[in-house]
Chain A
Amino acid sequence: MTALVQAHDLAMTFDVSAPWLNRVLERKPRTLLHAVDGVSFEIEKGQTLALVGESGCGKSTVARLLVGLYEPSRGHLMFDGLDAHAVFKTAEGLKLRSRIQMIFQDPYASLNPRWLVQDIVAEPLIEHELITDRAELRGRVGALLSAVGLSPFDSFKYPHQFSGGQRQRISIARALATNPEFLVCDEPTSALDVSVQAQVLNIMKDLQRKLGLTYLFISHNLAVVRHVSDQVGVMYLGRLVELADKQTLFASPRHPYTRMLLDAIPKMHDTGRARTPVLGEVPNPLDPPTGCAFNPRCPHANGRCRSERPQLLDQGHGRIACHAVEEGRI
Chain B
Amino acid sequence: MSLLQVKNLVVEFPSRRGTLRALDDISFDIAPGEILGVVGESGAGKSITGAAIIGLLEPPGRIASGQIMLEGERIDQLGFEQMRHIRGKRIGAIFQDPLTSLNPLHTIGRQLVETIRTHLPLSDKEAHERAVSLLKDTGIPAPEQRIDHYPHQFSGGMRQRVVIALALAAEPKLIVADEPTTALDVSIQAQIITLLKTICRQHGAAVMLITHDMGVIAETCDRVAVLYAGRIAEIGPVHEVINHPAHPYTAGLMAAIPDITQDREQLNQIDGAMPRLNAIPSGCAFHPRCPQAFAKCKSARPDLMDAGMTRCACWLQEPGPETLRGTA
* Contact present for A274 and B270 (CB under 8 Å): no
Minimum CB distance partner of B155 in chain A: A281
Contact residues in A for B42 (Cβ distance below 8 Å) = 164, 193
Tell me whether A224 is interfacial, beta carbon within 8 Å.
yes
Q: Please, how many angstroms separate the alpha-carbon atoms of A193 and B193 in the complex?
A: 21
* Contact present for A194 and B257 (CB under 8 Å): yes
Tell me whether B125 is interfacial, beta carbon within 8 Å.
no
Contact residues in A for B197 (Cβ distance below 8 Å) = 274
* Contact present for A195 and B270 (CB under 8 Å): yes
* Contact present for B219 and A195 (CB under 8 Å): no
* Contact present for B218 and A195 (CB under 8 Å): no
Q: Please, how many angstroms separate the alpha-carbon atoms of A29 and B10 in the complex?
A: 60
Q: Please, how many angstroms separate the alpha-carbon atoms of A266 and B189 in the complex?
A: 10
Given contacts A195-B270, A265-B215, contact A271 B239 (CB under 8 A): yes
Tell me whether A268 is interfacial, beta carbon within 8 Å.
yes
Q: Please, how many angstroms separate the alpha-carbon atoms of A196 and B274 in the complex?
A: 9
Tell me whether B258 is interfacial, beta carbon within 8 Å.
yes
List B residues 152-205 near A (Cβ within 8 Å). 155, 157-158, 185-191, 193-194, 197
Tell me whether B259 is interfacial, beta carbon within 8 Å.
yes
Q: Please, how many angstroms separate the alpha-carbon atoms of A34 and B257 in the complex?
A: 35
Contact residues in A for B254 (Cβ distance below 8 Å) = 268
* Contact present for A54 and B190 (CB under 8 Å): no
Tell me whether B1 is interfacial, beta carbon within 8 Å.
no
Tell me whether A138 is interfacial, beta carbon within 8 Å.
no
Min CB gap A155→B, angstroms? 19
* Contact present for B186 and A264 (CB under 8 Å): yes
Q: Please, how many angstroms separate the alpha-carbon atoms of A195 and B291 in the complex?
A: 14
Stretch at the interface among A19-27, A197-205, A307-315: A197-205
Contact residues in A for B258 (Cβ distance below 8 Å) = 198, 201, 221, 223-224, 226-227
Q: Please, how many angstroms separate the alpha-carbon atoms of A64 and B268 in the complex?
A: 31
Tell me whether A262 is interfacial, beta carbon within 8 Å.
yes
B204-246 interface code vs A (CB 8 A; 1 in, 0 out): 0000000011111011000000000000000000110011000
* Contact present for A194 and B41 (CB under 8 Å): yes
Given contacts A195-B41, A205-B266, A264-B190, contact A273 B219 (CB under 8 A): yes
* Contact present for B256 and A195 (CB under 8 Å): yes
* Contact present for B256 and A194 (CB under 8 Å): yes
Tell me whether B252 is interfacial, beta carbon within 8 Å.
yes
* Contact present for B252 and A223 (CB under 8 Å): no
Contact residues in A for B219 (Cβ distance below 8 Å) = 266-267, 271-275
Q: Please, how many angstroms separate the alpha-carbon atoms of A54 and B186 in the complex?
A: 8
Contact residues in A for B239 (Cβ distance below 8 Å) = 271-272
- Point out the residue from B187, B259, B268 that lies within 8 Å of A260, measured CB to CB: B187
- Point out the residue from B187, B212, B266 that lies within 8 Å of A194, measured CB to CB: B212
* Contact present for A227 and B264 (CB under 8 Å): yes
List A residues 237-274 near B (Cβ within 8 Å). 250, 260-262, 264-274
Given contacts A196-B273, A261-B187, A276-B190, contact A268 B218 (CB under 8 A): yes
Q: Please, how many angstroms separate the alpha-carbon atoms of A268 and B216 in the complex?
A: 8
Q: Counting chain A CB atoms within 10 Å of each CB, which of B213, B242, B269, B271 scores highest?
A: B269
Given contacts A272-B238, A277-B194, A278-B190, contact A222 B260 (CB under 8 A): yes
Minimum CB distance partner of B239 in chain A: A271
* Contact present for A277 and B191 (CB under 8 Å): yes
Tell me whether A220 is interfacial, beta carbon within 8 Å.
yes
Tell me whether A72 is interfacial, beta carbon within 8 Å.
no
Q: How many residues of A contact B (CB 8 A)?
A: 44
- Point out the residue from B188, B214, B263, B271 that lies within 8 Å of A281, measured CB to CB: B188
Min CB gap B274→A, angstroms? 8
Min CB gap A194→B, angstroms? 5
Contact residues in A for B191 (Cβ distance below 8 Å) = 277-278
Tell me whether B253 is interfacial, beta carbon within 8 Å.
yes
Q: Please, how many angstroms separate the alpha-carbon atoms of A54 and B266 in the complex?
A: 26
Tell me whether A61 is interfacial, beta carbon within 8 Å.
no
Q: Counting chain A CB atoms within 10 Å of each CB, which of B155, B186, B193, B212 scores highest?
A: B186
Tell me whether B300 is interfacial, beta carbon within 8 Å.
no
Contact residues in B for A262 (Cβ distance below 8 Å) = 260
Tell me whether B78 is interfacial, beta carbon within 8 Å.
no
Q: Please, how many angstroms separate the alpha-carbon atoms of A6 and B32 in the complex?
A: 58
Q: Please, how many angstroms separate the alpha-carbon atoms of A55 and B156 in the complex?
A: 11
* Contact present for A55 and B185 (CB under 8 Å): yes
Min CB gap A268→B, angstroms? 5
Min CB gap B213→A, angstroms? 8
Q: Counting chain B CB atoms within 10 Å of each CB, which of A193, A222, A267, A271 scores highest?
A: A271
Tell me whether A112 is interfacial, beta carbon within 8 Å.
no
Minimum CB distance partner of B270 in chain A: A195
Q: Counting chain A CB atoms within 10 Å of each CB, which of B41, B190, B239, B271 scores highest?
A: B190
Q: Please, how many angstroms separate the alpha-carbon atoms of A221 and B257 in the complex?
A: 11
Tell me whether B122 is interfacial, beta carbon within 8 Å.
no
* Contact present for A274 and B273 (CB under 8 Å): no
Minimum CB distance partner of A191 in chain B: B42
Tell me whether B267 is interfacial, beta carbon within 8 Å.
yes
Min CB gap A247→B, angstroms? 8
Min CB gap A159→B, angstroms? 15
Tell me whether A165 is interfacial, beta carbon within 8 Å.
yes
The contact sample of 30 A-B pairs, CB cut-off 8 A, is A164-B273, A194-B253, A195-B256, A196-B41, A197-B256, A199-B270, A202-B266, A202-B267, A205-B266, A220-B186, A221-B258, A226-B263, A227-B258, A227-B263, A227-B264, A227-B267, A261-B187, A264-B187, A264-B189, A264-B190, A265-B186, A266-B216, A268-B214, A268-B254, A271-B243, A274-B219, A278-B188, A281-B158, A281-B187, A281-B188
What are the nearest 4 A-B pairs in CB distance? A266-B215, A193-B41, A278-B187, A198-B256
Which residues of B does A touch, CB under 8 Å?
41-42, 155, 157-158, 185-191, 193-194, 197, 212-216, 218-219, 238-239, 242-243, 252-254, 256-261, 263-264, 266-271, 273-274
